[in-house]
Structure formats: structure tokens, C-alpha cells
């Protein structure tokens, strides 16, 4: 049976874990997913990125009364016709930002395939108590004069697959990019709370029993 110090330590570990947020930013080549990520982290826009390596960025932020340790995974760009599994990303990430370029219909098709993969019926090795948070982003709104994907198409894809949706421009809209990331992080925090509520009743009963036992012991001292 756990003693009081072990229980406190385990509870602290659970709370620390709830403050770690892991976010994967996915999309086809040239969609601007790296530009969005760097815009959020530094407020700077850089148009050209080497796409042959992956990066994990870290950022500390204070949100909803909590100090959060945010990690953002930006994989190397995949050709939009390539096969992909997302197995490691599905295990690692708490949420996903899926990016397409509104002036490139093939990037929208690739984003759709990514969402379908994330929303596939969960296999036994990747079960989640709560469905992953997903935000679909139509980037490069500054190129609306050569638009190939309508706003309504993005909105419908998101609604049909239980995702959030927005259009913006990494090049011109620093504040909107920041709000987009805050939005998905808040969704992830909501999921953390739902997971905590859905813990097996046995573990909750055990925690209550431990509290009662050690509470009585403290009173008797």
C-alpha cells in the first residue's frame, strides 16, 4: 500500500504531466507549417525553410492559471503523394495542427488524408481516453487572389471530422497565428481535464481511501 509520501509524489507527477503539452504541426511541402510555428515562437516571419530535417521546439507559457511546458514537433516535409503512418506522432502528440495552402488544392487533399488518419478508429496499441484535439488551418490567406480551396470547404472538412478550423496568413497575421496556437492548446488542456474525470473508478476509490486513512492518522497524532 502507498504511504503518504509516495501518494503525494505520484499525484505531483500526474500534475506535472498535465502541464506538459505536446503539439504536432503537420502538412504538405510548402504549406508554411514551419513558418507558422516560428511565427508563434518568435513573432518573426521567415519565408524559406530547409524541409529535409525535423525539429522539436520548446516554449514555456502561462495559460489558464498554469505554467505550461509546450513542445512543438515540426517534421520534415513529406511529398504529398507519399505514404505515411503517423504511428509515432499519434502516440506522442496531445494535439495536432494540420496545415494546407489555400492556393494549392493538392495540399488540401493531403491535409484531408492526415485528418482521416488521425480520426481512424483507434487500434489497440493507440487507444485514447479522449479524442485528440485537432485544428485545421488554411494558410496563405494573403494569396486569396489565387485561391483554389474555398473557406467553406475547409470549414466542412473540419466540422465533419470534429476539428477546429481557421484561415490566416503566417506572413501577415502575427496575432492571429498566436491566437490559433492558444486555441489548440486550450483544447488540449480541456482534454486533460476530461481524461482526469474518466479515470477508472477503482483508482479514484483507492485515492479516496488513502486520503481517508492518512487523514485519520494525522488527526490521531
Q: What is the pLDDT of residues 19-65, one digit of tens each?
A: 899 999 999 999 999 999 999 999 999 877 666 678 899 999 999 88
Q: How many Å apart are CA 31 and CA 55, to the nearest integer?
A: 16
Q: How many Å apart are CA 71 and CA 134, to the nearest integer?
A: 16
pLDDT confidence of residue 88: 87
* Prediction pTM value: 0.80
Q: Which residue has the higher pLDDT, 175 or 53?
A: 175
pLDDT tens-digit profile of 185-218? 999 999 999 888 776 655 555 555 545 544 544 4
- Let me know: does 141 contact 110? Beta carbons within 8 Å: no
Contacts of 42 (CB under 8 A, 6+ apart): none
Dihedral of alpha carbons 122, 15, 19, 135, sign: positive
Please give the average per-residue pLDDT across 128-157, as a whole number: 95
pLDDT confidence of residue 5: 52
Q: How many Å apart are CA 44 and CA 21, to the nearest integer?
A: 23
Confidence class of residue 72 from pLDDT cuts 50, 70 and 90? very high
Amino acid at each position: 500500500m502507498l504511504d503518504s509520501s509516495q501518494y503525494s509524489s505520484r499525484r505531483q507527477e500526474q500534475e506535472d504531466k498535465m502541464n506538459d503539452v505536446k503539439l504536432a504541426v503537420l502538412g504538405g511541402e510548402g504549406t508554411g507549417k514551419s513558418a507558422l510555428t516560428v511565427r508563434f515562437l518568435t513573432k518573426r516571419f521567415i519565408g524559406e525553410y530547409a524541409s529535409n530535417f525535423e525539429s522539436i521546439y520548446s516554449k514555456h507559457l502561462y495559460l489558464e492559471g498554469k505554467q505550461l511546458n509546450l513542445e512543438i514537433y515540426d517534421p520534415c516535409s513529406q511529398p504529398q503523394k507519399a505514404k505515411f503512418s503517423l504511428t509515432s506522432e499519434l502516440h506522442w502528440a496531445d494535439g495536432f495542427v494540420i496545415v494546407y495552402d489555400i492556393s494549392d488544392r493538392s495540399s488540401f487533399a493531403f491535409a484531408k488524408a492526415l485528418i482521416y488518419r488521425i480520426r481512424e478508429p483507434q487500434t489497440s496499441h493507440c487507444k485514447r481516453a479522449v479524442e485528440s484535439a485537432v485544428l485545421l488551418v488554411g494558410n496563405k490567406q494573403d494569396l486569396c487572389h489565387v485561391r483554389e480551396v474555398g473557406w467553406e470547404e475547409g470549414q466542412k472538412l473540419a466540422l465533419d471530422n470534429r476539428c477546429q478550423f481557421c484561415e490566416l496568413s503566417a506572413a501577415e497575421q502575427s496575432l492571429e497565428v498566436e491566437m490559433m496556437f492558444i486555441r489548440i492548446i486550450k483544447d488540449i488542456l480541456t482534454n486533460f481535464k476530461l481524461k482526469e474525470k474518466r479515470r477508472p473508478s477503482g483508482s479514484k476509490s483507492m485515492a479516496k481511501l488513502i486520503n481517508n486513512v492518512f487523514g485519520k492518522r494525522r488527526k490521531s497524532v
